[in-house]
Amino acid sequence: MEVEGRQGHFQEIEAQALAVAVFKDEKADDGLLKELDAASGGVVKSVIEAEEFKGKEGEMAFLHLAASEANKPRRLLLVGAGERSDSGPAQVPKFAGAAARFVRDKNVKSVALLPRFEVDPETVAASAVEGALMGLFEIDKYRTVEKEQRVLDRLIVVVPGASQEALERGVKRGRIIGEAVNYTRDLANEPGAYMTPTIMAERAQDIAREFKLGIDVLDEARMKQEGMGSLLSVSQGSDQPGKLIVLKYTPPTPTKNDAQLLALVGKGVTFDSGGISLKPGENMELMKYDMTGGATVMGVMRAIAQLEPPIPVIGVVPCVENLPSGKATKPGDVVRAMTGKTIEIINTDAEGRLILADAIAYAKKLGATKIIDLATLTGAVSIALGDVNAAVLGTDQDLIDEIIGAGQEVGEKFWQLPLDKEYSKQIKSDIADIKNVGGRKAGTITAAAFLKEFADGVSWAHLDIAGTAWADEAKPHRSKGPTGIAVRTLLNIVQRAVR
């Protein structure tokens, strides 16, 4: 899709449709809406005064404008933007995604977006482009019938009076981020047969080649040499060998921050049956997306390589299949992690924390001073927070606050859960150092308490995205399926780093 930013008047834009953000209870008597009303022959004022369109978030009104030289866009889409007091960068992607999905469904080939949010031009351009790209993503990759065939060929973000240079920077950044989110969603949507640990490692190698990242892929022999018994205990039940992917970004220009190393660690369970502690059959097909944390890290690293922030970053993705077999780890087994800590396996379906433990330890060995791990880790987080907020826990309050703030700026919500030392008592084992589950109480917190055992000595935060990584229903601005949660937040954290 061709994407560009323009600073002119909407009637100067060559596009089949114009999509305009309209705030709740906004009147059609002045400003831009008055111009649009004139162009529509009074229809805009009519639909607003009749309360057919109230400007509620996600509400739409699609109008045809009179054919004339003055009206170059012949179709007008009013997109509800909600309360003006809520106007900010987080609302822009929703507006753009809803507009792009709607006009594509009407077989429109080119659309101009007029966001009208109180955001600086570069940010509004970036947010609009990323939102539109995210809105156009569909999960019908393997359909042969009833597949979405309509395509939006051209997208123009219109910000009157803006600097053209700022718009171009924003459009470029927005495209990189939007494509990174959709890359992550595409990985998460792949069936387990098409996204094994080996294939995931190959996709990481493709990213490294295309975007000039460093890469190292540890096979099971090397992981055994490193003492990663916790990770290997999960992969041993599958015929598919486990992999540990390390993607490395080094800034093109050395900075004072080179002594600091941020590591992003993502759970990559390419299919999770639960192992010997077998999951119920209902909805097990969704366990193909249990590698969303790892997919997110790969998507973020893909974007980082193009955005070239001033800080070094590594992405660490432990990849396994969790399947039952005669070789599989059994409840009651004891395994030894890379750090030497022994773990009693109580439930083989609590496998994500086992692979993350060794991945976090390995990130520390590589020199990481700050670690953010993310995973579809616990069902308990959905009970606690539903599909609205992802959970964040950790040992560095400044880092936690940074994650929450960065998420708010892009429209991704994170809610901090406590991690008091008392919770660690629930994972004490009678026969080993710790056990991999702490009972029914506070399941999300005790999972984080387990990971905390391996994150000592560094600034660390954990994101449990199990409740937000997959959408069961479509929304006006996005399809159902994988959401790409946390890609934009993590990129925002990296981009806010100061030289």
Q: What is the pLDDT of residues 263-316, one digit of tens each?
A: 999 999 999 999 999 999 999 999 999 999 999 999 999 999 999 999 999 999
C-alpha distance from residue 180 to each of 27, 71, 197, 410 (Å): 38, 36, 20, 14
| Dist. CA 404–CA 413, nearest whole Å | 7
Question: SS3 for 428?
Answer: strand
Rounded-to-integer distance, Cα 222 and Cα 447, Å: 27
Residue 494 CA to residue 248 CA, distance in Å, equals: 14
Return d(Cα 341, Cα 188) in angstroms, integer: 31
CA 64 to chain centre: 36
Q: Which amino acid is at 76?
A: L
Pairing of strands 434-435, 459-464: unpaired
Question: How far is it, in rounded angstroms, from Cα 105 to Cα 477?
Answer: 12
Q: What sign results for the dihedral spanned by CA atoms 396, 401, 407, 409?
A: negative
Give the angle 271-368-350 at the CA atoms, nearest 5°.
30
Contact assessment for residue 437 and residue 428, using Cβ atoms and an 8 Å cutoff:
no
pLDDT of residue 73: 87
Query: Is residue 279 flagged as an active site residue?
Result: yes
393 token code pair: 């826990």
Q: What is the DSSP letter of 338?
A: T
For the chain (499 residues), the mean pLDDT of every run of 10, in chain order, is 92 92 89 90 92 93 76 88 88 97 96 94 97 98 92 96 96 98 98 98 98 98 98 98 98 75 98 98 97 98 96 98 98 98 98 98 98 98 98 98 97 98 98 97 98 97 98 96 98 81
The structure tokens 């432990």 sit at 318
Query: What confidence score (pLDDT) does residue 10 get?
Result: 84
DSSP string, 350-419: --HHHHHHHHHHHHHHTT-SEEEEEE---THHHHHHTTT-EEEEES-HHHHHHHHHHHHHHT--EEE---
**Nearest alpha-carbon partner for 292 in 97, 467, 137, 478:** 467
Q: Is 336 a catalytic residue?
A: no
Task: Please count the helices (runs of H) and the strands (runs of E) in the chain.
Answer: 14, 20
pLDDT tens-digit readout, 25-77: 898 887 899 999 988 889 999 999 999 999 999 899 999 887 655 557 889 99
Separation of alpha carbons 123 and 326, rounded Å: 54
pTM above 0.95, yes or no: yes
Cα separation, 92 vs 387, whole angstroms: 21
Q: Quote the pLDDT of residue 457.
A: 95
**pLDDT for position 9:** 86
User: Of 355, 395, 151, 100, nearest to 235 (Cα)?
Assistant: 355
Q: Return d(Cα 265, Cα 392) in angstroms, integer.
A: 14
Q: What confidence score (pLDDT) does residue 69 get?
A: 55
- Output phi, psi for 301, to 5 deg: -65, -35
The DSSP 8-state label assigned to residue 61 in this structure reads E
Q: At 299, is the secondary structure helix, strand, or coil? A: helix
- Please give the domain boundaries of the chain with CATH numbers for all domains: 2-162 (3.40.220.10), 182-495 (3.40.630.10)
Per-residue pLDDT, 64: 87
- Distance of alpha carbon 311 from alpha carbon 495, whole angstroms: 9
Q: From the candidates 74, 279, 336, 413, which is the catalytic residue?
A: 279
Q: Which residues contact 254 (CB under 8 A, 6 or more apart)?
A: none
Residues 394/479, Cβ–Cβ less than 8 Å: no
Strand stretches in 38-177, DSSP E? 60-64, 75-80, 110-114, 154-158
What pLDDT is recorded for position 31?
86
Q: Which two tokens stand for residue 245?
A: 């992917």
Active-site entry in 75, 116, 353, 370 = 353
pLDDT for 499 equals 39
Residue given tokens 């002594």 in the structure block: 259
Spell out the residues 6+ positions from residue 377 whose beta carbon is closer than 8 angstroms to its own: 267, 293, 352, 353, 356, 444, 447, 462, 464, 465, 466
